[in-house]
Amino acid sequence: MNLCFLGSSQRLIGNQIIPRAYWIFLCRYLNQSRDYDWIPPKWRLTTLEEMAKMEVKTSLLDDMIGVGDMVLLEPLNEDSFINNLKKRFDHNEVYTYIGSVVISINPYRSLPIYTPEKVEEYRNRNFYELSPHMIHASPVVQCVNMQLVLECWLTDHEENVIFFYENLEIKGEVIISFALSDEAYRSLRDQDKDQCILITGESGAGKTEASKLVMSYVAAVCGKGAEVNQVKEQLLQSNPVLEAFGNAKTVRNDNSSRFGKYMDIEFDFKGDPLGGVISNYLLEKSRVVKQPRGERNFHIFYQILSGASEEFLCKLKLERDFSRYNYLGLDSAKVNGVDDASNFRTVRNAMQIVGFMDHETQSVFEVVAAVLKLGNIEFKPESRANGLDESKIKDKNELKEICELTGIDQSVLERAFSFRTVEAKQEKVSTTLNVAQAYYARDALAKNLYSRLFSWLVTRINESIKAQTKVRKKVMGVLDIYGFEIFEDNSFEQFIINYCNEKLQQIFIELTLKEEQEEYIREGIEWTNIEYFNNAIICDLIENNQTGILAMLDEECLRPGTVTDDTFLEKLNQVCATHQHFESRMSKCSRFLNDTSLPHSCFRIQHYAGKVMYQVEGFVDKNNDLLYRDLSQAMWKANHSLIKALFPEGNPAKINLKRPPTAGSQFKASVATLMKNLQTKNPNYIRCIKPNDKKAAHIFNDALVCHQIRYLGLLENVRVRRAGYAFRQAYEPCLERYKMLCKQTWPHWRGPARAGVEVLFDELGIPEEEFSFGRSKIFIRNPRTARKLLRELKHLKRCNEAATIIAAYWHGTQARGELRRLKEEARNKHAIAVIWACWLGYKARRELKRLKEEARRKHAVAVIWAYWLGLKCKKYRDQFTDQQKLIYEEKLEASELFKDKKALYPASVGQPFQGAYLEISENPKYKKLKDAVDEKIIIAEVVNKINRANGKATSRIFLLTKNNVLLADQKNGTIKSEVPLGDVTKVSMSSQNDGFFAVHLKEGSEAASKGDFLLSSDHLIEMATKLYRTTLSQTKQKLNIEISDEFLVQFKQDKVCVKFIQGSQKNGNIPTCKRKNNRLLEVAVP
């Protein structure tokens, strides 16, 4: 029959349109009961009956190209294994099972098999439930030739009915990675088991793309909602950022991960993501300064130069030409099929989504630009008087631009490139750097700057994506780590990478081959042991704490004396010579003495993936990973918040003479933590295989694939799976899940769980050869048997669902009648509510009118009263004379200047400001002074001038006129000092109850030659107020009044601090001044 989807509410069979709800019931009931008598005549079609009578196929492997699960491959040998992979690869089927392990072959091209429809198809399906297919559909209408029974149900997250089709006879592609991801996700969500997905393989095998597909699938099938969608988007967008800064083109892979990444995605009890935590492992920072031929530096350098605007490049002091930068290899700067400019826009957008602020993004790119420009700094030798060579920078323009970018003092950074300071205990020794050492320092700084920036990026991303809630979380880990590497020149980085892969292979062996066989023995299942290669001996060669290669390398780095790569190799030749997986031309083992393929400066390790020859040159330096302290301190002094944060050890206050841990020991500890983390989770494996070394589509190199199959132990894995059991479960959960299939075990089984499972399997008629009873688990050999149990369980559940739907229709009819009654009752209540509301509204409006009238009366009274008070105030003010007005203005000015600031102010409020406290014109003693002053005297008062030498006071007459401040001798009236008001800059006084004040004079003025005046007066508030008002009147500038218990006074060439303290005095309540030293006068205030 032909079935056509029209929408979420209608279905079409032939020419009949069937309501959605009846359609759901129809499909379910026909599949369960085979009863057609109840079907309404207008829907009764022969094709529909035939559809329900169709025989359902039971094998997921029907109509599949080749064999989809290697466990079922016949005959099983290396040739048939490779031929099956090749056959499937030629038909674009790049995924194959080994039981629950997935083999993924990199197609080196995009395949149309990762659509949203495929995601929905694999959602909530059992691991072996779907056969390989693709439904070819148009965007609007889907028409399918149905030959099988339709199975449909409502999903958890969608309102519409989603139809799933089993075993459609349509050739297509299976998304096995989706199946594995869904199995892991559902195990985490439904069974509360933490999961991890381990993606392993050689460099270029497609691990990074596989990890992104896994994360995309998990994001697609979990819940919806604004908050959940934001978390999912941030988790997904962290990938472009880390790829840009941590991936590079190599000879084997255009997007090779040059760091290891493990992401823990955290979920709540519903299976919705809460956040995540990313761990990174050993960025290959040596790539920053040097790349092998045919390879590139990290993507971000090329992306900035290609995609940034001219304005942005100008801010970063960069040019678009790649050839301008020594750190960028030119032979492979452009990569076919890679749009660096577009990728740069993607990275900037991703950083914004993840949560980077604009200033943080700017700071990150400034650091990247600084690293790029560091490579352009070149040095030249220069001889010193002592005969030693010293390095000098050839062209300081690049250095200047770097310092402008990073906010570092140019002279500080230039010295750090020319000198090295060695500190031991309390001694510091500064030595010059020759040209070679200067280049080493430059490259070390560039590597450290970039690697620390990368670590900061990971930390910053973690801050954004971490779970905000503290509830218990379920965790799914996704491991995407660099693959096994064998290059022409293999150094310390390849050694560390291959060590990590050895550990991953070891955990695969332990959890798939060793653990499975040991489980059969523990459970008492009859078992013939299968031999396999255990690489634990290789891991021990590298990581043993006493005799391991890493331990020997650390020992060489830490021991005193001359340490070189050659001394390290000699030590290896002594300790590891007899190890069967270690080879060296200089070792005691005579079989390698004449091996010309093994140079004297190299050693070779027989890894699980093959023999790798390592050049020992650079091992010691890269393991030491030293950065001169001068450079760290120069970076810490930068006026750039990010760079300063990247080098905390540069802080002189936190100098630590303890040697930092070596790169090898840090990586070893990180790998140990990773392995411990992985062993706490249920593993799911994707084994990636590279079909050819040319990175080309449609090419399958049998020899290359065979080599990978051998070292990955895939054949041994198949043999263990074939000899073993596909499904196992503890007796208690097995009985709890399937007990409804047997009348004797339903609803409650009173005996032991194992006995209940035995009764259940006997009742279901499952052949004895299909299962075995262990000590604590039931083992089922064939996946078909497990699927039979699931089908039986689903059949019963569907029967229950059918009864539920019929009951739902009846309850719906009753509910609709009750709804009509409630609506009528609600209308009556609404009418009453409206009438009552109108009455209340009328009362409220009447009350409002009364209140408004009352408010208007009160406002009128207030206005009349205000006018009356204003009239009285005006009448009172009109009685003031000009002198009285001036006094009140001065009092108001004093209030603004000193109220709540000077303790002396409250006592001055009640005292009138007299101004002339001395009758100069009437006293003949001051005749000479009167003749000398021809201006109006605003204030005349006797003050005490403080002597800086001893703090003692001398009486002086203080005169303030319209233009000058004068100090005269009290005895004879001789003028001692005359200062124009324009030269007075500030008046300082304490906040306490004293009369001391300082008059500060303008520097360089004639009056300031003897320094400032430190005076004491009983009328301080009046004097300061009049001086302030007179200065403002004459100079049009406000005089600065500083109130502080500690201020500086200029005495000739020296500055003396005047400090006010509290204390009891011998002179009663009179403050006293005492000199403490040449720089301090102390005033004791009671």
Catalytic sites, residue numbers: 203-204, 208, 253, 256-257, 483, 485
Answer yes or no: are the C-beta atoms of 45 and 1 closer than 8 Å.
yes
Q: Can you list the alpha helix ranges (DSSP code H) found in 997-1047?
A: 1020-1035
Distances from the Cα of 282 to the Cα of 239, 261, 493, 664, 1049, angstroms = 17, 9, 9, 9, 60
C-alpha closest to that of 60 among 787, 789, 719: 787
CA distance 496 to 282: 9
Sorted by sequence, the CB contacts under 8 Å of residue 266 that are 6+ apart come out as: 273, 274, 275, 276, 277, 467, 473, 474, 475
Strands (E), 708-838: 727-730, 771-773, 777-780
Here the tokens at position 320 are 């678009």
Q: Is the peptide bond before 40 cis (omega within 30 degrees of 0)?
A: no
Task: Identify the CA nearest to 245 among candidates 348, 123, 158.
Answer: 348
For residues 247 and 298, is the Cβ–Cβ distance under 8 A?
Answer: yes
What DSSP string describes 120-169?
Answer: HHHTT--TTTPPS------SS--EEE--S--EEEE-SS-SSEEEE-SS-S
SS3 850: helix
Residue 149 CB neighbour total at 10 angstroms: 17
Q: Residue-wise over 713-724: b if at least 16 C-beta within 10 A, else e?
A: bbbbbbbbbbbb
Please name the residue ranges forming H helices in 617-765: 619-624, 629-636, 641-646, 663-679, 702-712, 714-723, 731-738, 753-764
Dihedral over alpha carbons 704, 708, 711, 712 (to 10 degrees): -170
Residue among 106, 62, 336 at smallest CA distance from 201: 106
d(CA 1022, CA 915): 8
**Tokens encoding 482:** 């660099």
Rounded to 5°, angle at Cα 296 from 292 and 298: 120
Using alpha carbons, select from 475, 385, 393, 456 the residue that is nearest to residue 195: 475
Interatomic CA distance for residues 454 and 25, integer angstroms: 57
CB 235 within 8 A of CB 276: yes
Q: Classify the phi-psi angles of 707: left when phi > 0, otherwise alpha if psi is within -120 to 50, otherwise beta.
A: alpha
**In terms of C-beta density within 10 A (0-12 exposed, 13-18 middle, 19 or more buried), how is residue 146 classed?**
middle
Decide if 92 contacts 24 (C-beta within 8 A). Answer: no
CA distance 287 to 248: 9
Are 1063 and 1084 in contact, with CB atoms under 8 Å apart?
Answer: yes
Whole-angstrom distance, CA of residue 292 vs CA of residue 289: 11
What single letter denotes the amino acid at residue 934? D
CA 1004 to CA 763: how far, in whole Å?
113
- CA distance linking residue 605 with residue 502, whole number of Å: 12
**929, exposed or middle or buried, with CB in 10 Å at 0-12, 13-18, 19+?**
buried
Which long-range CB contacts under 8 A does 697-704 form with residues at least 24 apart? 697/107, 697/108, 697/109, 698/90, 700/85, 700/86, 700/89, 700/90, 702/82, 702/86
**Rounded-to-integer distance, Cα 731 and Cα 754, Å:** 6
C-alpha distances in Å from residue 821, one per residue of 90, 513, 818, 826? 68, 68, 5, 9
